[in-house]
Amino acid sequence: VAGRAAGQDLAGLRVVVSAGGTREHLDPVRFLGNASSGLMGWALARAARLRGAEVTLVAANVDRPAPPGVPVTTVTSTADLAAAVTAAAGNADVVVMAAAPADFTPAAASGTKIKKSGDGGLELDLVQTADVLAGLVRARTDPRQVLVGFAAETPDGDADLLELGRAKLARKGCDLLVLNAVGPGLVFGQPDSEITLLTPEGSDGPHAGSKDTLAHIIWDTALSLRSSR
């Protein structure tokens, strides 16, 4: 991988990586969450540190030891993630949103355990969470700051993967979107993945490999985007 041979090519850069999946509590013991394992975010943080970057990792519900030399801020909900990432992003050169934030949160969480009532079901009233990445794009003051998003899509034939990715890149307004297909046995918790890199200029990939290898490719691309500004 080019990045490994490049040695300390991220030295002097401050980067923020988010990882894992957020949880929205319904009551003190239950939450809405997702299957994100944090592996990709961990690989990104490790790779950036190896290449000399100053790395901040914001982790949502990831049960793994911190990568060596990387401080970890732990968060639970999407609102927590938004606060931690926004604070860290202020003086960051690159922010990579590898976390899978919950998109919906209860309109009102119950302070006590929700009880069953007879044999009735349960309706949940959910509202959308804040879009962290879109907020970073809006709040960007350093024109050289590179903002990277991920998109895990489940193509269903109507719209192909690349089309979904292009639309998301345009909607988010970030500089780079890392696109992958998800589904049973794909991506989540797996050591290997396959990604396509989308920028407003075009696409690169697919690249298949270990998440460590892919992390280096993502940093190569983020670095070249930054250098081109």
Among ligand CTP, Ca ion, none, the one that 72 touches (CB under a kind-dependent 5 to 8 A) is none
Among Ca ion, ligand CTP, none, the one that 152 touches (CB under a kind-dependent 5 to 8 A) is ligand CTP
Measured N-to-C along each axis, helices 132-139 and 78-89 cross at an angle, to the nearest 10 degrees, of: 30
Catalytic residue numbers read 34
Residues forming the annotated binding site for CTP?
A: 103, 113, 150, 168, 172
Binding site for ligand CTP (CB under 6 A): 78, 97, 99, 101, 103, 129, 131-133, 149-152, 168
Cβ–Cβ < 8 Å for 93, 226: yes
Contacting range for Ca ion; rule: CB under 5 A; set: 89-97, 102-110, 117-125, 173-181: 102-110
Contacting range for Ca ion; rule: CB under 5 A; set: 19-27, 41-49, 101-109, 183-191: 101-109
Is 103 a binding residue for Ca ion by CB under 5 A? The answer is yes
Minimum Å gap between C-beta 103 and Ca ion is 4
Measured N-to-C along each axis, helices 211-227 and 39-50 cross at an angle, to the nearest 10 degrees, of: 60
The structure tokens 């968060």 sit at: 75
Cβ–Cβ < 8 Å for 221, 203: no
Quick one: 103 or 192, whose CB is closer to Ca ion? Answer: 103
For the chain, state the CA radius of gyration.
Answer: 18
Tokens of 191: 């050591």
Quick one: 102 or 218, whose CB is closer to Ca ion? Answer: 102
Distance from C-alpha of 76 to C-alpha of 83, rounded to nearest angstrom:
11
Cβ–Cβ < 8 Å for 61, 23: yes
Quick one: 50 or 58, whose CB is closer to ligand CTP? Answer: 58
Is 131 a binding residue for Ca ion by CB under 5 A? The answer is no
Measured N-to-C along each axis, helices 132-139 and 161-172 cross at an angle, to the nearest 10 degrees, of: 50
**How does strand 176-181 pair with strand 146-153?**
parallel
Binding residue count for Ca ion, defined by CB under 5 A: 1
Residues forming the annotated binding site?
A: 103, 113, 150, 168, 172
Residues near Ca ion (CB under 5 A) are 103
